A and B are shown apart, each in its own frame.
Chain A
Amino acid sequence: MTKKRAYSALGLSAVCALTLSACATSGSSNNATTNDSSVSIAITNVFSSLNTGTSTGNSDTNGIISSMTNTGFYTVTDKFEVRHNDWFGTYQMSPEGEGIKVDYTVNEGQKWSDGNDIDKGDLLLAWAAISGHFNSQDENGVQYFDYAGDSSGLAAAGKPTTKDDRSISFTYPTAFADWETVYDLSKPAHVVAELAGMTEAELVETLESATPGENNDKLTKIAEAWNTAYDTTTKPSDEKLLVGNGPYLVSDVIENQSVTLTANPNYQGSTKPAIQEVVLKVLPDAAGQVQALQNGEVDAVAPQASIDTVSQLEGLSGVVTTPQADQAYDHLDLNMQEGSPFADANVRKAFLLTVPRQDIVDKLIKPMNSDAKVLNSQLYLVSDAENYAKTVQSNNSSDYPSNDMDANIAKAKELLNGQTPTIRILYNSKNSNRVNTFQMIKESAEKAGFVVVDSGSEQWSSMLAGGDYEASIFGWVSSGVGNGTLGQIFKSGSSSNFTSYSNSTVDEAAENIMRTTDTARIEELKMQADGELFKDAYGLPLFQSVAVTSYNENLQGVKPKPGQYPLTWNIEEWSYGK
C-alpha cells in the first residue's frame, strides 16, 4: 500500500516535471538594446488617434505625436515665426488679379517612411481634408472630411490646380492674410487609398472629379478612412497607419500609459534626430510629473504651472526650469448691452480704473514668473516682443495705469459722480486664480462706490453668451499665428463677442486684415483696433498665464515654446551633451 503511494507520488512528480518543461519559454531572447539616446517626456492626456486633424482626434497628445511623425511645408518656431522647411518643399505667394496665388512644390525625392513618393495624391488629399471643399453647404447634406481646424480660408480658394506631379496651386479671390498657415501636408494618400480599398490613382481621380455636395461612394470611403481609420489607443496592427515623414515614427504604444517613437531612418529633413527614441509617458497629475522628473523616470516635463509646481521644479538639481509667459491670457470684459450700467462709457472707464492689475500680477503670477508684467494689449502677447512694445506706445492702455490705485479710485469716483452701479461679475468658480482675481477686483471696486456681486459659477461657459451679468473674467488662448481671432472676438455680432461690443473701426479692421498679405499693413490694422478697444473701455487684459517646462540638464537643444507643444516642436534638434 505504502509502496503504491510512493510510486504514485513519483509518477505525479514526473508528470509535473514534464508539464513544467512544456510551458517554458523557448529560449529567452535577451537582446536588451542598450539605449543611451532615449528621452522620455511627460504628457498629460492619453493618446487616442494618429490623425490629429479630425474633430475626435484633435487633442494635445495626438497633436504632439502628429507633429513628430509628420512634417510639411512649414514649422511654427518658439518665436511664433513661420519657418519654411526648404528641405521639404517650397511655397510662395504671388498676386493674381484681385487676389493671390500660392504655389506649393514638394522637392524631388521626398518620400514617406515606407519609400512611397510624396506627390500629387498627398497634396490633393490634404487639400480635400482641410478645405472641406466637398462638404455640402447644407447642414443636413453630405459631409465628407471631419476636419477640426478652420476650413474657411482654404475653402475660399476653390479647386486647386496641379502643374506637375509634385505641386499644387491655390488661387484666392482676394488677398488673404493667413495664406502661410492654412495648408500643409496631411496623411499619406497611398495609405488612405489602401484603407479605402482603392489605388492611389483612383483616389487622385476621385478627388479631381468629384462634385461638392453630391454623393460619391469612393469619396465617402476616402473620407471615412481619413476620419476614423487612424483612431486607435493601441499600436495598430496595420503597420501602414504608422507611415509618416517626420523625424520620428510611432513604434510602440501601451494603452493609456505611454507612446514610444523611434527615429525615422528615412527622414529627409536637414537636421537628423540625434536621439534614437522618444517615450511619451502619461502622467496626469502635475505634482506627479515633478516627482517623476526628480526620480529620473522622465527627462522633460511641462506640467500645469502653479506656484508650488514652479518653485518645486526650481528647487530640483540637475534640471533646467523655464517659467515663461504662456500664450493664454486672462481678461476682464464689460457687458455693454443696453440696460447694463456699462452702456455708459464713463462707468466703464471708472470700473476699469479700479482694477488693481499690478496687484493681481504681483500676487498671482509673479511668484511663478518673476518677469511677469501687467498685460497691456488685447491683441498682442509679450512673445511678440517687438510689436507688443510698439502697440503699448499707441493703444491708450496708459489710460489705465495700476501702480497708484488710490489715484485711480479717486478718478473713478469722479467719473461715477456719486452713482453706485451694481456689477455682477461672472467667472469660473472652480478656477482658484479667477476666484482670487475676482476678490481683488471686488475689494478695490467697492472702494470707488461700485456694488460688486459675486456671480461666479461652474457653469460660466454656458452663461457667457446669455449676457446676464455686467462683467466677466475669463481667458483666451492665442495660437500665435494667424489673424482670424480679431474678428472672432471683437467684430460686431461675432459668436465669441459676448459683450455686444460694436465699433465700426474695429469691424473694418477685422474685415480688412484678412484681405491683405502685407504684414506691415496687418500690424497697422491690429494696432489700430487695439487702440480703439482701450479707448472704448472694452475691458482690460489682465495677465498672461505662466507656462513652465523643466528638463534634464544633459539635454541640449531644447527650446521651450509657450503654447501648444511646449517641448517637442523641435525635438529633432535635441541631443545629449556630455
Chain B
Amino acid sequence: MLMYSVRRLITAVFILLGASFLVYNLVAIAGNPLEELLVSNSPNKEQLIAQRVEALNLDVPAPVRYFMWLGGILGCFAGQCDFGQNLAGTPVTQLLANAIYQTLTLVLASTILSILIGVSLGIVSALRQYSALDYTVTFASFLFFSLPSFWIAVLLKEFLAIGFNDFLRNPVVTIPTTLLISLIAGIFWYSASFGKQRTRYLMGLVGFLLTAGMIVFVSATQWFLTPFLGIPFMLPLGLGAAVLFTYLVAGLRNRRALGTGLGMVLVGLIAYFPLQGLLAQATLLMVVIILAAFMALGWVLGLLAGGYDRGQGARVGLLTGLAMALLIIADRFMQAWPEYISNSRIKGRPIPTANASTPNLQGDFWVLGIDTMTHILLPTIALTLISLASYSRFSRASMLEIMNQDYIRTARAKGVSERAVVMKHAFRNALIPLATIIAMDIGGIIGGAAITERIFAFKGMGTLFLDSLAHTDPNPVMGVFLVTGLMALIFNLVADLLYSALDPRVRVKA
C-alpha cells in the first residue's frame, strides 16, 4: 500500500510535469500578452510593449520560457518558491493564497451542505422508490441540475436578496400570500408523505396549518427583525433532535440512549443561561470549544448511563449535545441580528448580492459572523442546488443496489428491525462508493466555481484562472493549474485508497 502510494505520487509528479508543459504552451497560444498594447493608440506604445516583453521574457519562445518558469517552481524544493508575477506585478503565490482562501469560504459550506442534504435525500428517496416523494426529489434535483448557474444566481439575487430586504422594511405577510404559501406547503407535504390516502390528506392538512401558523407567528412577532429561539423553541427542537438521533442511532427501545439524549437537552437548557455571559465575549475558538465540550459531555453522559450498548448511548449523547450547542449558538446569533440590521453600514438591508464581507463593519464576533453568513448565503444556496443532484442521484442508486443485496434479505429474514436494516446494514455499505466520489470532489473544491465566484464577486481560484486567461496573463493561469492539478491527482489517489480500505473486496494493486 505504502509502496503503491509512493509510486502513484511519483507518477503524479511526472504527469504534472508533462501536463504543465502542455498547458504552458497552450496558454502561450491562447493569448498574446501584448494584445491590448498592440492596438493602443497611446503615443508611447513601443515603450509599453518593450516594458512588457521585458517583464514576461516574451522574446524567449514559449517552450524555452517554460523551463525558466519551471526553474522558479522547482525552487520550492529549495525553500524559495517563485511562481512569477502577474501583469500587475503581484507575486502569484500571494494571489493564490488569497484565491484559495476566498474559494474555500465560498465553496466549503455548500459542499458540506450538498453532501449532507443530497445524501439524505437520496437515501430517503431510495427507501421510498417510485413514491411521489421520490419523483419530487428526482424532478427537483434534475431541474436544479439543468439550470445554468448564472441563471440561479440572478434569480436568487433578485428574489432572495433584494426581495427579502424590501420585505424587511415592513415584515408583515398579507393574508392571501399566507394562504398561498401554506397551500403550496400543504401540497408539498401531501406529495412527500406516503402511506394510506387518509394519512396523506392529514399530512397535507398538518403541513398547511403548520406553515400558516408559522407565518402568522413570524408576522406577529416581527421575527425577521428580532429573531429569537429562547427556551420555548429550544425545548421542542432539542427534544425532537434527541428523539430523532435516538431513533436513528439506537432505536427508541433503547431507553438508556433516549435518557442520555433527553439528559443532554436538559443540560443544554440549564447551560443556556450561564453561558450567555461568556458568549457575549466570544471568539471563534471559544465557539469551537463549546461545541466540542457539549459533544464530549454527551459522550461521557452516554457512557455513564451505561447499559447493554453504551456506545449507542454515547453517540446519541454526542449528537444531541452537538444539536443543543448549535441551538444555543444560533440563538446567540439571532440576538445579534437586530444590532446587525440597524448597523449604519447595513442600513436595514442585511442580505447582500455580492462581495465577501461588509468593509469597515465594526462589531463583535456575532455581528461579524452574521456578516460573513449573509454574504455567503446566496452563493452557498446556488452551489448547493446545483450539486445536490449528483449526490442525491448517486446515493439513491447506491442505496437501491444495496437494498437488493442478499444480505439485506438475510437480515430481514432474521427479524432485524427495518431501522437496523437500513441504518446498520444498508446505509453504511451505501456510503462506500460515495466516499470515493466525495474524496474526488474535495480534491476539486480548490478549483473553485468560476461562474458563481464571478457573479458574487468572490476572487477565488476560478475567477483568478479566468480573468488571467482573459487578460492573457500566463503566470497566474499556470499557478492555478499547478495547485488544482496537484490536488486533483492527490485526491484521486486518496479516493482509490479509500475505496480499497472501505471495501475489502477491492484491492489496490501493490
Direct contact of A and B (CB under 8 A): yes
* Chain A residues packing against B (C-beta within 8 Å): 2, 5-6, 9, 12-13, 16, 19-21, 23-28, 30-36, 38, 40, 46, 48-49, 54-57, 59, 139, 146, 148-152, 228, 231, 233, 252, 254-258, 260, 277, 279, 281-285, 287-288, 291-292, 294-297, 459-462, 464-465, 474, 476-477, 484-485, 487-489, 495-496
**Which of B35, B43, B290, B354 interacts with A292 by CB under 8 Å?**
B354
In the assembled complex, 7 residue pairs joining A and B whose CB atoms fall closer than 8 Å, in A order, are: A252-B359, A257-B459, A285-B354, A291-B157, A291-B158, A291-B354, A295-B351
Contacts of B362 in A (CB 8 A): 30-33
**Which of B40, B95, B300, B457 interacts with A496 by CB under 8 Å?**
B40
User: Does B3 sit within 8 A of A, measured CB to CB?
Assistant: no
Contacts of A282 in B (CB 8 A): 355, 457, 459
Bound: A139/B351 CA distance, A? 55
- Known A25-B364, A151-B44, A279-B360; judge A12-B300 contact (CB<8 A): yes
Contact, CB under 8 Å: B289 / A23:
yes
B residues 337-383 with Cβ under 8 Å of A? 343-345, 347, 349, 351-357, 359-360, 362-365
Tell me the smallest distance from the CB of B269 to a CB of chain A, in Å: 16
User: Does B432 sit within 8 A of A, measured CB to CB?
Assistant: no
Contacts of B454 in A (CB 8 A): 284-285
User: Does B78 sit within 8 A of A, measured CB to CB?
Assistant: no
**Which of A33, A149, A228, A476 interacts with B44 by CB under 8 Å?**
A149
**Which of B296, B354, B356 interacts with A297 by CB under 8 Å?**
B354
Closest to A55 in B: B51
B residues 21-77 with Cβ under 8 Å of A? 32, 34-36, 38-48, 50-52, 55
- Known A56-B87, A291-B162, A489-B41; judge A297-B94 contact (CB<8 A): no
- Known A5-B304, A56-B55, A151-B44; judge A13-B285 contact (CB<8 A): no
Closest to B274 in A: A17
Closest to B38 in A: A461
Contact, CB under 8 Å: B43 / A485:
yes
User: Does B490 sit within 8 A of A, measured CB to CB?
Assistant: no
Contact, CB under 8 Å: A462 / B158:
no
Report the stretch among B124-132, B176-184, B275-283 that lies at the interface: B275-283
Bound: A139/B289 CA distance, A? 62
Contact, CB under 8 Å: B52 / A291:
no
Bound: A257/B98 CA distance, A? 11
Bound: A279/B365 CA distance, A? 22
Tell me the smallest distance from the CB of B407 to a CB of chain A, in Å: 38
Q: Looking at A55, A149, A279, which has the most chain B CB atoms within 10 Å of its CB?
A: A55
Contact, CB under 8 Å: B94 / A233:
yes
Contact, CB under 8 Å: B90 / A2:
no
**Which of B285, B286, B357 interacts with A254 by CB under 8 Å?**
B357
Bound: A511/B44 CA distance, A? 16
Bound: A46/B98 CA distance, A? 13
Bound: A54/B55 CA distance, A? 12
Given contacts A23-B289, A257-B357, 12 further A-B contacts (CB under 8 A): A9-B304, A56-B87, A150-B47, A233-B95, A254-B356, A256-B98, A283-B355, A291-B157, A291-B353, A295-B352, A459-B32, A474-B39
Closest to B158 in A: A291
Contact, CB under 8 Å: A34 / B344:
yes
Contact, CB under 8 Å: B43 / A150:
yes
Closest to A27 in B: B281
Bound: A282/B41 CA distance, A? 28
Closest to B39 in A: A461
Bound: A46/B467 CA distance, A? 11
Bound: A302/B249 CA distance, A? 57
Bound: A400/B467 CA distance, A? 41
Q: Looking at B43, B281, B290, B355, which has the most chain A CB atoms within 10 Å of its CB?
A: B43
Bound: A24/B365 CA distance, A? 10
Closest to B87 in A: A56
Contact, CB under 8 Å: B162 / A295:
yes
Closest to A281 in B: B355
Contact, CB under 8 Å: A20 / B353:
no
Contacts of A252 in B (CB 8 A): 359-360
Contact, CB under 8 Å: A297 / B355:
yes
Contact, CB under 8 Å: A19 / B289:
yes
Bound: A284/B351 CA distance, A? 19
Q: Which 9 pairs show the lowest CB-CB distances between chains A and B?
A: A56-B89, A256-B459, A484-B43, A24-B281, A48-B88, A150-B44, A32-B362, A258-B359, A28-B364
Number of interface residues of B (CB under 8 A): 75
Q: Looking at A260, A291, A295, which has the most chain B CB atoms within 10 Å of its CB?
A: A295
Contacts of B38 in A (CB 8 A): 461-462, 464-465
Contact, CB under 8 Å: B43 / A20:
no
Contacts of B353 in A (CB 8 A): 288, 291-292, 295, 297
Contacts of B157 in A (CB 8 A): 288, 291, 295
Contacts of A476 in B (CB 8 A): 41
Contact, CB under 8 Å: B283 / A281:
no
Tell me the smallest distance from the CB of A423 to a CB of chain B, in Å: 21
Q: Hey, what's the 0/1 contact readout for B284-309 against A, CB within 8 Å counting as 1?
A: 01100110010011001100100000
Contact, CB under 8 Å: A496 / B45:
yes
User: Does B387 sit within 8 A of A, measured CB to CB?
Assistant: no
Q: Hey, what's the 0/1 contact readout for B66-110 against A, CB within 8 Å counting as 1?
A: 000000000000000000010111100011001100100000000
Bound: A284/B45 CA distance, A? 27
Bound: A233/B92 CA distance, A? 12
Contact, CB under 8 Å: A295 / B98:
no
**Which of B43, B98, B280, B455 interacts with A288 by CB under 8 Å?**
B455
Contacts of A496 in B (CB 8 A): 40-41, 45
**Which of B44, B88, B280 interacts with A59 by CB under 8 Å?**
B88
Bound: A28/B85 CA distance, A? 40
**Which of A36, A139, A257, A462 interacts with B359 by CB under 8 Å?**
A257
Contacts of A27 in B (CB 8 A): 281
Bound: A35/B214 CA distance, A? 37
Contacts of B467 in A (CB 8 A): 284
Contact, CB under 8 Å: A257 / B356:
yes
Contact, CB under 8 Å: A55 / B52:
yes
Q: Looking at A257, A474, A488, A496, which has the most chain B CB atoms within 10 Å of its CB?
A: A257
- Known A23-B286, A28-B280, A255-B98; judge A12-B349 contact (CB<8 A): no
Contact, CB under 8 Å: B457 / A285:
yes
User: Does B390 sit within 8 A of A, measured CB to CB?
Assistant: no
Tell me the smallest distance from the CB of A31 to a CB of chain B, in Å: 7
User: Does B190 sit within 8 A of A, measured CB to CB?
Assistant: no
Bound: A38/B161 CA distance, A? 22
Contacts of B286 in A (CB 8 A): 20, 23-24
**Which of B42, B89, B278, B459 interacts with A20 by CB under 8 Å?**
B278
